[in-house]
């Protein structure tokens, strides 16, 4: 398998396992990733996902150019996955939070997958870039439309129009990365974020993610008043009563996800 997928204690870990190819994504890997995200969407036992690449050199170098399918740029665009690169860059239907564990280079589609995550934890060795213009292509699978919505427009334009890379520290300065840590502290930092997510009510987390993803185009008043199903489910849940009761009783809440 080119992607490892395991679920332990309500946490799914998705690892692109092609370190000899800098975790570049070929057609088989892309299909496997898309199936994994679809499976995660159907499972109630998963409350958080950690996405990363094998080894310590790359999160993912993007599309595997040596395994190209021969499509022209226009043909590739026409056949593009609506969920974006790796089935995650533009995915809107996933309700659980995704943490990108960026252990090295995140280029092209690799960077686009990072843009599809909710939380980004990067090693000090991480680098981000969308170099498609350097080979006469475009960041069609999420980068060209998502990056400018997450960092200042001119910074996004400069990266895409030059193919330059962004360091982990620069990415953090622009608000793209939540934390930057030395390589030997990456797993501990990711685990700390996972633990904090699991300490929260799952339906509350799902409603927050849904609201962030679905209301960015609205003004604050419109967004607040939008009656999203995930929001209603969280407000009507048993967990919303349990959380308050646990606080008053000075005990840890027992979340049931309902």
Q: 39, 75, 112, 125: which is the annotated catalytic residue?
A: 112
Q: Six-digit token pair at 76?
A: 């590739």
**Polymer length in residues for the chain:** 258
Q: 6, 41, 75, 132: which is the annotated catalytic residue?
A: 132
170 catalytic per annotation: no
Phi-psi bin for 174: left (phi > 0), alpha (psi -120 to 50), beta?
alpha
95, 114, 42: which is closest to 205 by C-alpha? 95
CA distances to 29, 56, 59, 125, 166 from 104, rounded to whole Å, are: 19, 6, 5, 6, 12
Q: Six-digit token pair at 220?
A: 């604050």
118, 111, 120: which is closest to 94 by C-alpha? 118
Residue entry with tokens 């975790």 = 23
Q: What distance in Å separates the CA atoms of residue 29 and residue 63, rounded to the nearest whole number?
A: 10
Q: What distance in Å separates the CA atoms of residue 108 and residue 52, rounded to the nearest whole number?
A: 15
132 catalytic per annotation: yes
Q: Assess contact for 116 and 90: CB atoms under 8 A.
A: yes
Q: Catalogue the active-site residues.
A: 112, 132
């Amino acid at each position: 398998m080119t992607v490892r997928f395991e679920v332990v204690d309500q946490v799914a870990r998705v690892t692109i396992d092609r370190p000899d190819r800098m975790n570049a994504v070929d057609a088989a890997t892309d299909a496997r990733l898309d199936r994994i995200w679809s499976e995660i969407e159907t499972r109630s036992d998963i409350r958080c996902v950690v996405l990363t690449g094998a080894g310590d050199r790359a999160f993912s170098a993007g599309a595997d150019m040596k395994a190209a399918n021969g499509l022209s740029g226009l043909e590739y665009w026409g056949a593009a996955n609506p969920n974006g690169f790796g089935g995650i860059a533009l995915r809107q239907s996933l309700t659980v939070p995704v943490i990108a564990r960026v252990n090295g280079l995140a280029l092209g589609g690799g960077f686009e997958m990072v843009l599809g995550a909710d939380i980004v934890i990067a090693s000090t060795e991480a680098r981000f870039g969308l170099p498609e213009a350097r080979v006469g292509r475009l960041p069609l699978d999420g980068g060209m439309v998502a990056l400018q919505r997450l960092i200042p427009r001119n910074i996004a334009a400069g990266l895409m129009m030059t193919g330059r890379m962004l360091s982990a520290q620069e990415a953090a300065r622009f608000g793209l990365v939540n934390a930057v840590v030395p390589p030997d502290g990456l797993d501990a930092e990711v685990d700390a974020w996972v633990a904090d997510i699991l300490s929260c009510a799952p339906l509350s987390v799902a409603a927050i993610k849904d609201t962030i993803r679905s209301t960015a185009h609205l003004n604050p008043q419109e967004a607040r008043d939008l009656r999203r199903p995930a929001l209603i489910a969280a407000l009507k849940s048993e967990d919303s009563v349990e959380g308050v009761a646990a606080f008053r009783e000075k005990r840890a809440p027992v979340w049931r996800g309902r």
